[in-house]
C-alpha cells in the first residue's frame, strides 16, 4: 500500500463527519467553526449543516493528521496551517487561542474537471467575444493579472486561461499550496515549503520564483502574489519573460495595480514609489476582474482592462475593453450578464496581423486591425 493511499485512508477516517460533503460534487467549500458548527457552500450560497465532530480533540486530530502528511506542524508556536488533501483540495486551519471559538478548518474542494473558458461562457461568466480575446492575448504573450475578492473564482479562471497556452511551451507553476492542474504536457509544479520550528528548511514563493528563472521557462504562472515576490515577478516580465499570469486580491483593475505596487515595495530591495509604479505599469498588460454576486452566488468576469502606462500625474491609466452589464434573470433565478466590448481597441490591436494569427479571429474582428 503506497504512502499516498495510506494517507488517503487515514484522512477519510479522521474527517468522517465531513465525508458526505467531500464526496458531494455540488459542495465547493467546507467551513468548520469549532467541532459543533459546520457550514458548506453550494452554488455560491452558505448552508449550515447538522454535521459535527465529537469533540475539539477529534477535530484537532484530523488537522494534525493532515499536517503530518504535508510535513508541516501546527501547534501553539505555529497556530496556522496551509495544506492540501490527497485529492488536491486546499486546507486552511487555525487553532486556539488564535481562533477564539475553537479550532477552525476550511476546505476548498479541488475541482475534478479542468474548467475551460468555454465552460465559463456556458455558465454566463464570460462572453464568447471576451473568451476569444483572452485566448488571443495569451498567444500574444500578454502579461495578465486576474483580480478579485476571496472566493470569487480567481484560481479557476487562471486555470481556464492557461489552457490557451500552446502545448509545446515549458511552463513553471509556483503556488503556496498546489491547486492548479494544467492540461499541457510540459509543466513543472513548484510549491512553497514552510520552515520547521527553527525556521529552517523553508522555501518561499519568492525563492521559488528566483529559482524558476534558472529553469528555462517559456511561461511562469504564480498562483497568487502576496508579498515581495511581486517585485521579482514584475522585473522578470520586463526582462523577457512575457506571457506570465498571476492572481491578486483586489476589487477593481486599478486597485489591483495599486496593490501590486504596494506588494513590490514589500521586497527587501528599496526602490522609490514612483519607480515601483512605473514598473507595474510597464509590466502588466491586462487586468481581468472577477466578482461573486451575493444574490445568486454566481461568479462573473466584470471587466477586462488594458494598462496603458501612467498619466502626467503619475497615476495608472486603465482602459476598459470589456464591461459586464446585468440584464435580468433566467427562469432558474440566476443573474444574466453580457460582458460586452466597449469599442475601445487595445494598443496591440495590429499585432495579430503582424504575428500571422488572424486565422484564430472569428468573434473578435471588431477588436483587431486586420487590414
Q: What is the DSSP string of 12-38?
A: HHHTGGGHHHHT-TTEEEEEEESTT-E
Query: Which residues of the chain form CATH 3.40.50.300?
Result: 117-360
The CATH number of the structural domain formed by 3-108 is 3.30.450.90
Predicted confidence (pLDDT) per residue in 307-334, tens digit: 999 999 999 999 999 999 998 888 878 8
Cell of 184: 499541457
Q: Does pLDDT of 113 surpass 80?
A: no
For the four alpha carbons of 353, 357, 360 and 364, in that order, the dihedral sign comes to negative
Nearest to 241 by CA among 218, 223, 262: 218
Helix 253-264, helix 229-238: angle, nearest 10: 110
Among candidates 337, 107, 147, 102, which has minimal Cα distance to 254? Answer: 147
pLDDT per residue as tens digits for the range 230-288: 999 999 999 888 999 999 999 999 999 999 999 999 988 889 999 999 999 999 999 99
Confirm whether pTM is higher than 0.85. yes
* Local structure of 70: helix, strand or coil: helix
| Element of type H or E holding 117 | helix 117-122
Query: Within 13 Å and on the Cβ side, how many CA atoms surround 62?
Result: 30
Query: CATH 3.30.450.90 region(s) of the chain?
Result: 3-108
Please give the Cα distance from 289 to 275 (Å, whole number).
25
Containing H/E element for 152?
A: none
pLDDT of residue 262: 97
Q: In this structure, which topology does domain 117-360 adopt according to CATH?
A: Rossmann fold (3.40.50)
Summarize pLDDT for 137-191 with one digit per residue, the tens: 999 999 999 999 988 999 999 999 999 999 999 999 999 888 898 999 999 999 9
Amino acid at each position: 500500500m503506497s504512502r499516498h493511499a495510506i494517507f488517503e485512508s487515514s484522512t477519510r477516517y479522521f474527517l468522517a463527519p465531513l465525508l458526505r460533503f467531500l464526496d458531494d460534487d455540488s459542495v465547493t467549500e467546507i467551513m468548520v467553526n469549532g467541532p459543533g458548527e459546520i457550514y458548506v457552500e453550494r452554488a455560491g450560497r452558505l448552508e449550515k449543516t447538522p454535521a459535527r465532530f465529537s469533540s475539539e480533540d477529534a477535530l484537532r486530530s484530523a488537522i494534525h493528521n493532515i499536517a503530518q502528511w504535508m510535513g508541516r506542524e501546527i501547534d501553539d508556536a505555529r497556530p496556522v496551517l496551509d495544506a492540501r488533501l490527497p485529492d488536491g483540495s486546499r486546507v486552511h486551519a487555525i487553532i486556539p487561542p488564535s481562533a477564539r471559538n475553537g479550532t477552525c478548518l476550511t476546505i476548498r474542494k479541488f475541482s475534478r474537471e479542468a474548467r475551460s473558458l468555454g465552460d465559463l461562457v456556458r455558465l454566463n461568466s464570460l462572453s464568447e467575444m471576451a473568451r476569444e480575446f483572452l485566448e488571443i492575448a495569451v498567444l500574444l504573450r500578454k502579461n495578465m493579472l486576474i483580480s478579485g475578492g476571496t472566493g470569487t473564482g480567481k484560481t479557476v479562471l487562471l486555470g481556464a486561461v492557461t489552457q490557451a497556452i500552446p502545448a509545446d511551451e515549458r511552463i513553471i507553476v509556483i503556488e503556496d499550496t498546489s491547486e492548479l492542474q494544467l492540461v499541457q504536457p510540459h509543466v513543472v509544479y513548484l510549491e512553497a515549503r514552510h520552515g520547521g520550528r527553527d525556521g529552517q528548511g523553508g522555501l518561499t514563493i519568492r525563492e521559488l520564483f528566483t529559482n524558476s528563472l534558472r529553469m528555462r521557462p517559456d511561461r511562469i504562472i504564480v498562483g497568487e502574489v502576496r508579498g515581495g515576490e511581486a517585485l521579482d515577478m514584475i522585473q522578470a516580465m520586463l526582462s523577457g519573460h512575457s506571457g506570465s499570469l498571476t492572481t491578486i486580491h483586489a476589487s477593481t483593475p486599478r486597485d489591483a495595480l495599486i496593490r501590486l505596487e504596494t506588494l513590490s515595495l514589500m521586497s527587501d530591495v528599496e526602490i522609490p514609489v514612483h519607480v515601483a509604479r512605473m514598473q507595474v505599469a510597464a509590466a502588466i498588460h491586462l487586468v481581468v476582474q472577477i466578482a461573486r454576486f451575493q444574490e445568486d452566488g454566481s461568479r462573473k468576469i466584470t471587466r477586462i482592462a488594458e494598462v496603458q502606462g501612467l498619466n502626467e500625474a503619475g497615476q495608472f491609466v486603465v482602459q476598459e475593453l470589456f464591461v459586464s452589464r446585468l440584464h435580468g434573470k433566467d427562469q432558474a433565478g440566476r443573474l444574466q450578464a453580457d460582458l460586452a466590448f466597449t469599442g475601445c481597441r487595445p494598443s496591440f490591436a495590429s499585432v495579430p496581423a503582424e504575428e500571422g494569427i488572424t486565422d484564430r479571429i472569428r468573434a473578435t474582428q471588431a477588436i483587431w486591425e486586420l487590414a
